[in-house]
Structure 1
């Protein structure tokens, strides 16, 4: 989820840069600030923040107790 938010922030920063606008707040909505917010979200994602708290064991998918179905 954080990676998606980072992509949205980066896309918004790119649009602001391409359109050459600051939305009336030059100190708040400039492309440097949005880039730093995007990098923060991306680094939090890569650090593992925001993932499911109860998941352990690594890897996704199903795990079975006992014999796996379909294995003769």
Structure 2
């Protein structure tokens, strides 16, 4: 789930950068991209991955 959100944020950052949309300092394309990278790092670390298969074995 976090990987999908980060992909959407990367796309938004691309649109902001490609269209030269003037935004305030909080929503610049670099900041949106860094939030996307943080979410992608959390996904790779295993946070937000969903259900774990550990408890399902018998």
Runs (4+) off by over 6 Å: none
What aligned pairs does 1:1-72 form with structure 2 within 5 A after superposition? 1-23=1-23, 26-56=24-54
5+ residue gaps, structure 2, are none
What CA deviation, in whole Å up to 9, does each residue of 1:27-70 have, x standing for no partner? 1110110010000000000000002244228xxxxx9x7xxxxx
CA distance in 2, matches of 1:22, 1:49: 33
Q: Greater helix percent: which structure?
A: 2
CA distance in 1, matches of 2:41, 2:54: 21
5+ residue gaps, structure 1, are 58-62, 66-72
TM-score (norm 1): 0.69
TM-score (norm 2): 0.84
Find the structure with the greater CA-based Rg: 1
Q: RMSD value over aligned CA atoms?
A: 2.3
**Greater relative contact order (CA < 8 Å, ≥ 6 in sequence):** 2
